[in-house]
Amino acid sequence: MNFNIVCMSGDGIGPEIIAEAKRVLNKIAKKYGHSIVYKDI
């Protein structure tokens, strides 16, 4: 499964939180054979 995710780090969530969320999502995607494309805006 392929996912496209838009990341908005300026909505009250700092860039360090976004980075950790991406790290977790990437581990999940790797485990289940998915791919994720992030678009930072």
The share of the chain scoring above pLDDT 70, in percent, equals: 98
3-state secondary structure of 5: strand
Q: How many domains does the chain have?
A: 1
Instruction: Provide the CB-side half-sphere exposure for 3 (13 A, CA).
Output: 15
Q: What confidence tens digit (pLDDT) does each residue in 11-29 have?
A: 677 888 889 999 999 999 9
Q: What pLDDT is recorded for position 16?
A: 87
Indicate if the pLDDT at residue 10 is higher than 80.
no
Measured CA to CA, the distance from residue 11 to residue 22 in angstroms comes to: 16
Q: What average pLDDT does the chain have?
A: 92
Measured CA to CA, the distance from residue 33 to residue 11 in angstroms comes to: 30
Indicate if the pLDDT at residue 7 is higher than 80.
yes
3-state secondary structure 7-41: ECCCCCCCHHHHHHHHHHHHHHHHHHCCEEEEEEC
Domain membership of residue 36 as a residue range:
2-40
